[in-house]
Structure 1
Amino acid sequence: MKNILLPTDFSNNSWNAIKYALALFKGEQCTFHLLNVYTPAIASSRFMAASFEQGTFEDGARIHSERGLERMVRRIKNVDSASGHHYRTLSSFSLLVDAIRDTVEKHDIDLIITGTKGASGLKEVFMGGNTVRIIKSIKNCPVLAIPQSFEFAAPSEIAFATDFNRFYTISELRPLLDMAKMFNAVIRIVHVQYEIKALTELQQFNLGMLRKYLRPVEHYVHTVSELNSVSKTLEMFTDELDIHLLAMLNYQHSYVERMTREPVVKRVAFHTQIPLLVIPELGMGVSPRWKSSETDAVSH
């Protein structure tokens, strides 16, 4: 059984991500952990006469959080009839990223699914600030970010963005492979180049291993020229090929890191029109969180 974490602030944005999660794992045995974080304004305590009042304020926030989660579970059960789905509620007096990190460890979470907001007003951003913080801070669990207006579509076309400069392990690719198998999807490996040129020997080796790992599913390799920025290029690629899910591995100098670096976030417009799956790198001694019924062996 998979453990899926669904952070929620009870907004329409987070409800849309929850609906996507329910549809994505419709035929799977899952426990959905709904997490709401409440952080009363500590600064206001200096205007309070006694600590008792501060405690009362925190109790009120906790009750509001717990009742909101109860209403959310009732709302979910009204739309989700899957017998294999179970729900747990988690109310936390904490900062969002800290609460998510603790929950991932404590409840053996396989995947975090969160809603994300695009650009607002004149400020164009990569994604909502909370989503960027989660991606940058959570290093041991895949994150699936769902745009606020995106309605579930079975991901029959999945793009995997890579520059072939890094060797991927089968454990790191497992969430991508399993997703493709679940929906009989095609994986389109997309390599963005500033100028089109032949791959180096290292890149050729990494591409060969990547194709070997992806052998169980239909896959193709696309090399595209960079248009203004990697993010804008990927946006156009996914739009032209009607991609339903974009996947990337998060490691040093990766596309994800480049796009979530603060100065880049502020000047590059990348509106996530489709869900984005960010897979963490697994260093030496780090066990994969994503549960799979298959072994990680591969024939060479």
Structure 2
Amino acid sequence: MQKILIPTDFSENAWNAIDYAMQLFRNRRCTFYLLNTYTPVIPSSRFMAKMIDGVRIVDAVRENSEQNLNKTVKRIQSKYGNPNHSFETISSFNLLVEEVKDIVDTFGIHLVITGTKGASGAEEVFMGSNSVRIIKAVKKCPVLAIPYHFEYVTPSEIAFATDFNRFYTSSELSPLLEMAKMFNATIRIVHVQYGIKALTELQQFNLNMLRRYLGNAEHFVHTVSELNSVSHTLETFSKELGIHLLAMLNYQHSYMEKMTREPIIKRTAFHTQIPLLVIPELGMEGISKGSVEEKQEVESHN
């Protein structure tokens, strides 16, 4: 993970995500792309001024964005001064999600890190809407969502949530494995069931393949009964086992897809207490030759 994109709106929530990233990758050589997008409201009425003290509103907003990005870089360097890290700033008059997708494509980003909003009471949702939109939109690299107020903890316990209904390619699992190897972490595979029952033949095969991919990485399989939602179950599991990072793939009918559907977001009380690593479904584009062979091996069993 050498190229890391971090969107920021200069809030403390966004700074918390930056702070986490600097500590997580303190021993890795990285280029961090700090992004701020702005969409100023341009007065359209001929009776409204488009100038503020002789400066066009768009220019003023862009200058403010660029200045705050530079201040953010100075704040990072002042606190960490890590020679392994370099920084690029991007100030863009664009919608956040569209710009994130463009930058991932243009610069070959390996990871997007975003802060999730803090909310309370009736406002509590799964994550801030921007985080959810980024997770849904980014298809070529993982997204790591950092909860508001979460203080950095070395992720020595990583949970990977799966229902074993899907075959995972080695390229899709590589972000999980890389994270585990970086911190010599234990991977806890967690399977949420409506009722405890034996795995199907397909599920057992996928579990065996998953364990084969994990190789020498220490890992355990946990099967848990669903409490009242997948999100609440995973939250409880993470608390009870002291999980530092929750990982899952985002594909149709996955836990992640169920948790990020709009109707569910509006009524769930799940709020990420720990960082969430969401890995996209890479498809054939992201599959290595070895993974293609593995895929063919699976198909030959069906």
Q: Aligning the two structures, in what range does the TM-score lie when normalised by the shorter sequence? A: over 0.9
SS of the aligned residue for 2:134 comes to: helix
- Unpaired segments of 5 or more residues in structure 2? 298-302
Amino acid of the residue matched to residue 40 of structure 1?
Answer: P
Contact 1:231 1:259 in 2 (8 A): yes
Does the 8 A contact of 1:37 with 1:91 survive in 2? yes
SS of equivalent to 2:234: helix
Alignment correspondent of 1:45: 44
| Contact 1:187–1:219, Cα closer than 8 Å, also in 2 | yes
Distance 1:226 1:117 in 2: 26
Q: Helix, strand or coil: the match of 1:192? A: strand
For residues 116-174 of structure 1, give each alpha carbon's deviation from its aligned partner in whole angstroms, at most 9, with x where no partner exists.
01433422211111101111111111000000110110000000000000000000000
Match of 2:134 in 1: 134
Equivalences for residues 136-151 of structure 1 within 5 A = 136-151=136-151
Contact 2:193 2:226 in 1 (8 A): yes
**Structure 1 runs of 4+ with >4 Å offset:** 47-55, 295-300
Question: C-alpha separation between the residues in 2 aligned to 1:193 and 1:106?
Answer: 40
Q: Which residue of 1 aligns with 2:75?
A: 75
Give 3-state SS (helix, strand or coil) of 2:103's partner: helix
Q: Which amino acid aligns with 2:17?
A: A
User: Following the alignment from structure 1 to structure 2, what is the Cα–Cα distance between the partners of residues 72 and 47?
Assistant: 37
Please report how far the alpha carbon of residue 93 of structure 1 lies from its aligned counterpart in structure 2 after TM superposition: 0.3
Give the 3-state SS of the residue equivalent to 2:122 in structure 1: coil
Secondary structure at the aligned position of 2:235 is classed as helix
3-state SS of 1:35 partner: strand
User: Helix, strand or coil for the counterpart of 2:35?
Assistant: strand
User: What residue in structure 2 maps to residue 84 of structure 1?
Assistant: 84
Tell me which residue corresponds to 2:213: 213
Displacement of 1:285 in angstroms is 2.5
Provide, for residues 59-89 of structure 1, a one-character-per-residue CA deviation record: whole Å limited to 9, x for no partner.
Answer: 0110000000010000000111321100000
Letter in 2 for 1:17: A
Mapping of residues 34-183 of structure 1, within 5 Å? 34-42=34-42, 44-46=43-45, 49=48, 56-183=56-183
**Matched residue SS, 1:46:** coil
Q: CA deviation at 1:286?
A: 3.6
Number of aligned pairs?
293
Counting aligned pairs with the same residue, the percent is 64
Cα deviation code 1:80-127 (max 9, x no counterpart): 132110000000000000010011011110000010014334222111
On the 8 A contact 2:32/2:87 being kept in 1, the answer is yes
Letter in 2 for 1:9: D
How high is the TM-score relative to the length of structure 2?
0.92
State the Cα distance separating 1:271 from its structure 2 match: 1.2
Correspondence for 1:21: 21
Give the secondary structure class of the aligned counterpart of 1:45: coil
After TM superposition, the structure 1 = structure 2 runs for residues 223-242 of structure 1, keeping only pairs within 5 Å, are 223-242=223-242
Deviation at 1:55, TM superposition (A): 8.0
Preserved contact between residue 169 and residue 287 of structure 2 (Cα < 8 Å): no
Distance 1:167 1:35, change over 3 A: same
Residue type of the alignment partner of 1:165:
N
Contact 2:169/2:291 (<8 A) preserved:
no
Assess if the C-alpha contact under 8 Å between 2:171 and 2:286 holds in 1.
no
TM-score scaled by structure 1? 0.93
